[in-house]
Structure formats: C-alpha cells, structure tokens
Amino acid sequence: MANFNLASLSPSMLHKILSKVATTSIRDFGCARVSFPGFNAIGREDYYYKSADLIFLNDCLDQVNAVRTFRLKCYQLGNPEAIYLQGLFHNYPDFTREYADRMYHMITSWSLSGH
C-alpha cells in the first residue's frame, strides 16, 4: 500500500475533504483544522466559507453555538446556501430540519418523481 500524505494533496482536494468533514460534524471540523496545517490554512480562507455546503450541516444540540457561528460567517461572506437558509428561517419561523429532510426526500426520491 502506498504511503498517503495529506500534504501532497492539492488545495482543492483539501477543500473538498474539509467541507465533507464540516458537513458531518462541526466538532470534527475544528479537530481537523488543529491536527493538520493544510486544513487550518484552508479553513481560514474566506473562499472556504463562501463555498461551504450548508444544506446538510449536522446541527447537533451540543454544538449549536459553533454551528451558528459557522453559518453566520458563511452568511456574512455571501455563501448562497447560507443566504437561502437565512431567508427560510426568517420568512418561515416554523420551518424545521424535519421539513427540510422531508422536502429533500421528496425531491430526490425516484418513486415520488415519477421516474
């Protein structure tokens, strides 16, 4: 098996990995930034927050403040998903994660789309 070195990966690949980690767990996002200087450099760039995938961001109750801070920074830097989510939560206060999951299932389900 070949030796795998994170430092040899391109910045775009590091960005994709860090985005996936942040979507899974905001705590793991912080740990990844601390453990590898390449992730730390990517995680400090404004571009990262502008392009982060927020739709499936796992917002666990014990991490609410960290998630809120992460989303706010994305919103302030013009992330389109953050702006969209802010509009949903502002205009539809009863909108919950459960509704988002149901809508996502309806959109992506082959059986419900008639295909």
39-66 residues labelled b (16+ CB within 10 A) or e (exposed): beebbeeeebbebbebeebeeeeebeeb
Tens digit of pLDDT at every position of the chain (115 positions):
455 688 888 888 888 888 888 877 888 888 888 888 888 888 888 888 888 877 777 666 567 788 888 889 999 999 888 888 888 777 776 767 677 777 777 777 765 556 5
pTM beyond 0.75: no
State the angle between helix axes of 37-44 and 11-24 in degrees (0 to 180), rounded to the nearest 10: 80
CA 75, distance to chain mean position in Å, is 12
Whether residue 22 contacts residue 49, with contact meaning beta carbons closer than 8 Å, is answered with no
